[in-house]
Amino acid sequence: MNEYTLIQIAGILVAATACQWLAWRVKIPGIVFLLITGILAGPVLGFLNPEKMMGDLFFPFVSMSVALILFEGSLTLNFAQIRGLHIVVRNMVSYGMLVTWIITALAARLGLGLSWQISVLLGAITSVSGPTVIVPMLRTVRPNHNIANILRWEGIIVDPIGAAMAVLAYEFIMSGSAQQAMGHTILVFVRLVAVGVTIGAICGYGFGMAIRKHWIPEFIHNLFAISLVLGAFVFSNHLQHESGLVTVTVMGIWLANMKDVPIGDILHFKEHISMLLISVLFIMLAARLNINELLALGWGMSFLFIAIQFLARPMNIMVSSIGSSLTWPERHMLAWIAPRGIVAAAISALFATQLEKAGYPDAAVLVPLTFFIIISTVLVQSLTARPIALWLKVAEPIPNGFIITGANPLARAIGKALMDLGFQVQLADTGWDQVMKAKNEGLPTYFGNPVSEHADRHIQLVGVRGVLALFPHEAANVAVAIHYRLEFGTDEIYILPSRPEENRLTADRMSIQNHGKILFGKTASYPAMATELARGGQIITTKLTEKFTLEQFTQKHGHRAMLLFAVDKTNRLHVYAHDCQINPEPGWSLVYMLKNGEDNHVVKGEDKHIINPDRLKKGYNV
């Protein structure tokens, strides 16, 4: 391996990371920037030639990467998520996909003049969506629960099915006479499904049992998972060509739906691997694109895109959702979102090479056409899906709520203050009396352990951006932080310690900071705040104005006021935590705890909202 190859590899990784960061900043799916980067690095600038760089290892690397990506996606597919909508998903990946296949093939034949063989193969290849593009788009669009789950299930399940259909089309083309081709194709289909499902089920069940019975030490769960997935994928493909994608998908779904099998750590690790592989693959595959071949296709490409976007997808959803409980706005949203992803790019490159060698000259257009469909569907849908979702009123609001763990008087007072400001809260506690008090005060509650599997199924996370851990015991708060950090990230996990930060050893302090942020500053602790509240302290909301600025607020209350939250002009909630940088301006609202002994009456209309624990006990609505 020469120095130039090392530069190329490092350049791909750096560019992939930069693309993902840029996508996060501008709220556009990363695939857009990855494709642009690949095209610039490959056909435009000539910096990157993946096949020359990797040689014979290129296509095996692509295949095994896709297997890992599909396995990670299928690990998230729990049947409970689509209860009542499973028929829609089944229809979309069966005869709905068949509708897409037929319309795409006809459009390729009529609009581009391709042979029937290549048109049918192109229809199969481009009938798949995929988690590589659906998941980032869902993060940006934030559609409602029904739409998000249907699209996620479709995107993962349709990939191996679409790949299998592409294999059948390829085998049909290569088999000679029509009668011989039909019999051979049916045999290939039966073997592909049988091998894929059998090996996937055996490996999924076996791995799940090994985890449940602790036959595998926890520190090698991730290594074992990767080895098993790749081993099963290769073995399945050895028995029947292209059955490996079915194998890894079945394996992941089986694991995801086994009881008492903790897969959270495996899923978290695989998410990072998948993001890396997706980023690298899109850059490398886009770098193989021949722009001259793409431009030579002319206006026929536009005809193909219009047929796919405005005819094939709406027809798919129309026939798949007959008799379902989906609303018309939900159906319209589903009819708009169907971007093509990495599986289409990978299998188009594989079949194009083989068909060109077999004497099909128009097979050369498979790769540029597939990439045109990927780029056009991703760009158009990424830029328009969120506005359309808002217009159809099927988009979730920007998450601005909190799960509050604990229903003690302090948690109830804080929850009441936030709820009265219009923010979504839900209090979770194992103490029945505390939960009932919160419920009587009008606060949404969950009775049970907030880190249990039952809580994962029943605590509503739609509209929730983070967690306020307000249990009296710090160990319980840290457990909450560990449980929810994968869902919200440590930046949105806030822990109230049992001792002030200034009285803690460095190692002890870091045990909290590694899992979340320390709430309310260096002097804050649960015992101190709970005691102050019991002594008559109050949680107050006041609005800053040009005449009542932050400086005047500080002069008035001094050390007797502990700042808890700030609400800016866009109604964004800012949480005061250790080392936070918040600069309230006129027009902002402040939520703070005022120690007992301060003059607590409302002065000149400045302090708008006072919450006293005595009032809370009586169910007083402020």
Is the predicted pLDDT of residue 515 greater than 80, yes or no? no
End-to-end CA distance of the chain: 71
In whole angstroms, how large is the CA radius of gyration of the chain?
A: 28
- Provide the pLDDT for residue 605: 38
User: What domains can be seen in the chain, in order of their start residue?
Assistant: 3-392 (1.20.1530.20), 401-617 (3.40.50.720)
In this structure, are residues 483 and 450 in contact, taking their beta carbons and an 8 Å threshold? yes
Q: Of residues 271 and 251, which shows the higher confidence score?
A: 251
Quote the CA–CA distance of 496 and 521 in Å, as a whole number: 9
Q: Of residues 308 and 86, which shows the higher confidence score?
A: 308
Is the predicted pLDDT of residue 274 greater than 60, yes or no? yes
- For strand 538-543 and strand 589-594, is the pairing parallel, antiparallel, or unpaired? antiparallel
pLDDT band for 457, please (50, 70, 90 cuts): low
Q: Range with the lowest mean pLDDT among 1-10, 326-335, 534-543? A: 1-10
Highest averaged pLDDT of the listed ranges 270-284, 337-351, 403-417: 403-417
pLDDT band for 502, please (50, 70, 90 cuts): low
Tell me the percentage of the chain whose pLDDT exceeds 70. Answer: 90
For 588-611, write each residue's pLDDT tens digit.
888 888 887 544 443 333 444 444
pLDDT band for 503, please (50, 70, 90 cuts): low
pLDDT band for 336, please (50, 70, 90 cuts): very high
Q: What is the mean pLDDT of residues 98-112?
A: 91
Q: Which residues contact 458 (CB under 8 A, 6 or more apart)?
A: 446, 448
Q: Which residues contact 201 (CB under 8 A, 6 or more apart)?
A: 250, 251, 254
Tell me the percentage of the chain whose pLDDT exceeds 90. Answer: 14
β partners of residue 447: 429
Highest averaged pLDDT of the listed ranges 17-31, 122-136, 246-260: 246-260
Q: Is the dihedral of CA 271, 272, 273, 275 positive or negative?
A: positive
Is the predicted pLDDT of residue 269 greater than 80, yes or no? no
Quote the CA–CA distance of 308 and 135 in Å, as a whole number: 21
Q: Of residues 197 and 578, which shows the higher confidence score?
A: 197
Quote the CA–CA distance of 318 and 338 in Å, as a whole number: 14
Mean predicted lDDT score pLDDT of the chain: 82
- Provide the pLDDT for residue 616: 37
Q: Range with the lowest mean pLDDT among 173-182, 529-538, 570-579? A: 173-182
Closest CA to 127 of 93, 106, 101, 156: 101
What type of residue sits at position 203? Answer: C
Burial class of residue 313 (count of CB atoms within 10 Å of its CB; 0-12, 13-18, 19+): buried
In this structure, are residues 297 and 368 in contact, taking their beta carbons and an 8 Å threshold? yes
- Provide the pLDDT for residue 315: 94
Quote the CA–CA distance of 101 and 123 in Å, as a whole number: 5
- Provide the pLDDT for residue 188: 79
Residue ranges with strand state E in 407-470: 425-429, 445-447, 464-469
pLDDT band for 514, please (50, 70, 90 cuts): low
Quote the CA–CA distance of 533 and 527 in Å, as a whole number: 10
Closest CA to 157 of 68, 277, 66, 253: 253
Helix axes 145-174, 131-141, angle to 10 degrees: 160
Q: What is the mean pLDDT of residues 419-447?
A: 88
- Provide the pLDDT for residue 143: 87
For 470-484, write each residue's pLDDT tens digit.
888 888 888 888 888
For 214-251, write each residue's pLDDT tens digit.
898 888 888 888 999 999 999 998 988 778 888 998 99
pLDDT band for 334, please (50, 70, 90 cuts): very high
For 125-156, write each residue's pLDDT tens digit.
888 776 667 877 887 788 888 888 888 888 88
Place of tokens 């030639």: 49
Quote the CA–CA distance of 530 and 503 in Å, as a whole number: 18
**Helix, strand, coil: what percent of the chain each, to 5?**
65, 10, 25
- Helix/strand/coil for 398: coil
Is the predicted pLDDT of residue 374 greater than 70, yes or no? yes
Q: Of residues 463 and 615, which shows the higher confidence score?
A: 463
Place of tokens 């074992």: 224
In this structure, are residues 543 and 603 in contact, taking their beta carbons and an 8 Å threshold? no
Is the predicted pLDDT of residue 99 greater than 70, yes or no? yes
Q: Of residues 462 and 491, which shows the higher confidence score?
A: 491
- Provide the pLDDT for residue 233: 92
Q: Range with the lowest mean pLDDT among 343-357, 504-518, 557-571? A: 504-518
Q: What is the mean pLDDT of residues 182-192?
A: 78
